[in-house]
């Protein structure tokens, strides 16, 4: 036994002291075009975003590269076509009074970049029925929240696919909130006029199919989870969108990839191909999707004052800045997270 122990110890020392680092040559990653865009029955403009896949290394080069100087257009099945304008790096938009999606029409995206031509498979813009009922239920627990559900009636005549998005708007009084050390006081400056903060459903993929409920109600579809961190009303603007079968498969596959938890029954990661292709080389993999959707919007004001207990977040004392002439106000600067434009369906 002592001899076996001595041999085992010698082997452990050998393998822990003589290991050389292995440099794996992964080769140059393939540069792939990534497309993100759609046309809807809502008035334009519509934006198509073009990027290319990133390199493996992390840092400033580890983000997707913006595709500049491309020629981008959207055409329909009547022969009408509109050229998009590059409004910012990698973002191409239609005119505000230009093309608008119509139910029953088929739309195709065309892209020319770096001497290559790409286009989408034609997308039929299908109708959607819209939400019949929306409601919120408070759930107590470690993270106290309101769960917002929607019900919609599915038509029996057709095979239907759905997607839901939401945006939360909250009125903002102070357009500057600055943490001042050492006491970590929050100094504030009022907004010059009305202003709303915007919280989007970033990274959310919320889709459904009528494969098991054709012609029946789709009930208690979870739309959003509203935090109980205040007793104020929580304004939620939502949209129900129609999807084609291909669009549903794309978003469903993306949802499964996002929500894989590493279990033994999870599907292995795979490239999710959308409906874009290289006109001259259909074997080239193009990522992303160009869709066409009917949109039925709506809203809910979640009343958080009905809960008989204090919210999870303590109140923060806001202090106007001291010393020197005070700034009268600060403008509400339009951005992806703030707007001075009254949100649709807004109710105080």
pLDDT tens across 95-112, in order? 999 999 999 999 999 999
Q: How far apart are CA 206 and CA 200, in angstroms?
A: 13
pLDDT at 1 over 60: no
Q: How far apart are CA 62 and CA 176, in angstroms?
A: 32
Confidence of residue 213 (pLDDT cuts 50, 70, 90): confident
pLDDT at 304 over 50: yes
pLDDT tens across 143-184, in order? 789 999 999 988 888 889 999 999 999 999 999 888 777 777
End-to-end CA distance of the chain: 81
Q: How far apart are CA 93 and CA 83, in angstroms?
A: 9
What the chain holds in terms of domains, given with CATH numbers, is 28-124 (2.60.40), 131-339 (no CATH)
Q: How far apart are CA 85 and CA 66, in angstroms?
A: 15
Q: Which two tokens stand for residue 341?
A: 């434009």
Confidence of residue 10 (pLDDT cuts 50, 70, 90): very low
């Amino acid at each position: 036994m002592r001899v076996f122990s001595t041999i085992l110890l010698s082997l452990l020392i050998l393998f822990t002291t003589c290991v050389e680092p292995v440099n794996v040559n992964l080769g140059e990653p393939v540069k792939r075009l990534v497309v993100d865009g759609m046309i809807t029955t809502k008035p334009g403009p519509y934006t198509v975003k073009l990027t290319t896949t990133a390199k493996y290394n992390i840092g400033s080069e580890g983000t997707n590269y913006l595709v500049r100087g491309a020629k981008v257009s959207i055409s329909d099945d009547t022969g009408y076509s509109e050229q998009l304008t590059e409004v910012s790096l990698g973002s191409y938009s239609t005119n505000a009074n230009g093309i608008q999606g119509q139910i029953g029409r088929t739309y195709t995206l065309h892209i020319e970049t770096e001497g290559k031509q790409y286009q989408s498979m034609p997308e039929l813009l299908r109708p959607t029925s819209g939400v019949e009922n929306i409601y919120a239920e408070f759930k107590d627990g470690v993270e106290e929240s309101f769960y917002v559900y929607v019900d919609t009636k599915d038509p029996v005549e057709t095979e239907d696919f759905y997607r839901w998005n939401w945006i939360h708007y909250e009125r903002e009084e102070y357009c500057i909130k600055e943490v001042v050390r050492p006491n970590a006081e929050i100094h504030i400056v009022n907004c010059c006029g009305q202003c709303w903060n915007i919280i989007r459903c970033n990274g959310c993929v919320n889709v459904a199919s009528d494969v098991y409920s054709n012609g029946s109600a789709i009930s208690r579809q979870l739309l959003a989870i509203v935090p109980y961190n205040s007793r104020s009303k929580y304004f939620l603007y939502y949209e129900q969108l129609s999807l084609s079968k291909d669009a549903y498969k794309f978003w469903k596959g993306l949802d499964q990839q996002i929500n894989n938890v590493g279990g033994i029954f999870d599907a292995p990661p795979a490239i999710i191909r959308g409906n874009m292709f290289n006109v001259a080389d259909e074997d080239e993999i193009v990522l992303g999707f160009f869709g066409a959707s009917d949109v039925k919007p709506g809203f809910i004001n979640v009343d958080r004052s009905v809960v008989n207990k204090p919210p999870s977040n303590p109140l923060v004392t806001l202090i106007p800045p001291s010393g020197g002439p005070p700034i009268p106000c600060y403008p509400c600067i339009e951005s992806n997270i703030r707007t001075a434009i009254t949100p649709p369906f807004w109710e105080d």
